[in-house]
Amino acid sequence: MIVTTTLGKAEGVLLPGAFVFRGIPYGEPPIGRLRFKPPLPAAAWEGVRRCDRFGPIAPQRHDPQGFMPELEQSEDCLNLNVWTPGADGPLRPVMVYIHGGGFTSGKGAECDGLRYAAEDGIVYVSINYRLGALGFLYLGEVLGEGYKTSGNNGMLDIVEALRWVQANIVAFGGDPQQVTVVGNSAGAKITSTLYAMETAQGLFHRAIAQSGATQSIRGKETASVTTSRMLEQLGLSFGEARQLLELPHGQLIEAQLAVGPDTARNLHMFGPVADGIIIPLDPLESLALPGKRPPLLIGSNEDEAASFIYWDPGLQEPQPLTLERLFGQNAGAIWGTYRRYSSDMSEAAAWCRTLTEHLYTIGAIQLAESLVASGTQVWMYRLKYGGPLGAVHGYEGSLIHATAESVVTTASSGSANLADPYAVREEGYALARAMRAAWMHFVRHGDPNVEELPQWPVYGSDAQTMVLELACHVQAHLPAPAGIGVSHSVWRTSP
């Protein structure tokens, strides 16, 4: 299959039931004079571009045990991938997947779009964007006016990719008026942040945010703390900050790892910046202003923090210092939340609930409430069914992508898969099918109501939420998190 884009002809690869186009550039390589600058549209090419392999991914820590460790890392990473059933017939809905990874890792290749294209008839796009310092280091205070939006370069990359979709997706059989942005974890935080960006308006028409909202948007003061730590680790004074423009990207990655080697630091070391230019200084306040925005499907999981606690020794003991690293100025109030919970349950359960609510649940509620106030339709879910550790962070993705072949059956009860927090047991497969049906109906129609689930009302003053478990039900006013009064509009460090 060969398509004609605005930049040139592209040839895809035939797969069972669909075509894939890998490594299509959407932005100029952000190297040399363009490092730490907003993206520019990609240049046109001559002839037919063979799109048979994934393009380079953003520089990040190399994990030889990770997914596709062989992929090249390069600052020339602004490329995307398209899976399509074909360009014949009526235009099809489009999903744009934004990968997670804490703003410092991940790749567009990590979520295969073949099933969406071949089985669901969706045109599926996944993208790479700048990560870590190259995508989110705020340099407005040290490099001046030309870098005042540098803390949001990763966000601007995604906007540029969405512009590419608007200009080109028809050639792949996609409908540019039916674009749904989908993200999990940091991808959900990015998806949610797009709502607050004027430059993103009109580029997407629905959004799904799985375990993430606007809670990772940082104030300029906090972003500047990260910049200071990076400079210190690199042995540079503020007056020498321009050397950041020339250092090999490998040195920047090493500095990132030295500054934030654990979960507690990495969670808020990088992320979008409320710079007052790309993102308003108070994002939630701006989102509550009248102005109907794209429908949003959003939610969180009952045991989000359990997997972090399980794998990270730094999180396994309740510590005020850990909360200071995670929540900055809110640490004292959140410690109070933990103390209240620990009077009614074990310390371990209280710690997990406190982290879960303040890292994810409250952020989702606050974003939903702001958007509802503006007149936007929002559907909220709470996933309670899960694996051995419960409904951990990212488990909804396991369910949505589960197949009959991937579930752990009773007959394989001795399988090591039962120790996998993300394994889906046979009993959960009906829920998995129902969730996928709801997600696909939302992509097609902007509404997640399907026969497989109870009637799912919009989120409003009665806070009706779809509780996803083996017997799904809608519940109004789920028990409010103990710290719901703590603002998660913009994350700030302690003084």
Q: Please give the full DSSP string across 125-155, using - where no structure is assigned.
A: EEE----HHHHH---HHHH-GGGTTGGGHHH
Strands of the 13-15 sheet, one edge to the other: 13-15, 18-25, 79-84, 123-127, 92-98, 174-184, 206-210, 296-301, 378-383, 465-468, 473-475
Instruction: Identify the pLDDT of residue 65.
Output: 82
Instruction: Identify the pLDDT of residue 63.
Output: 87
Helical axes 186-194 vs 153-168, angle rounded to 10° = 70
Instruction: Identify the pLDDT of residue 263.
Output: 43
Q: Give the CA distances from residue 463 to residues 211, 292, 479, in Å, rounded to whole numbers and listed in that order.
A: 17, 19, 11
Q: Could you name the CATH architecture of 1-184+217-281?
A: 3-Layer(aba) Sandwich (3.40)
**Low-confidence residues in the chain, pLDDT < 70:** 260-268, 410-418, 483-495
Q: How far apart are CA 252 and CA 134, in angstroms?
A: 8
Q: What share of the chain is helix, strand, coil (3-state, %, to 5)?
A: 40, 15, 45
CA neighbor of 125 nearest in space, from 158, 76, 89: 158
Instruction: Identify the pLDDT of residue 264.
Output: 44
Instruction: Identify the pLDDT of residue 161.
Output: 98
Supply the pTM of this predicted model.
Answer: 0.95
CA 278 to chain centre: 18
Backbone angles phi, psi at 273, to 5 degrees: -120, 130
Residue type, 391: A
Instruction: Identify the pLDDT of residue 265.
Output: 46
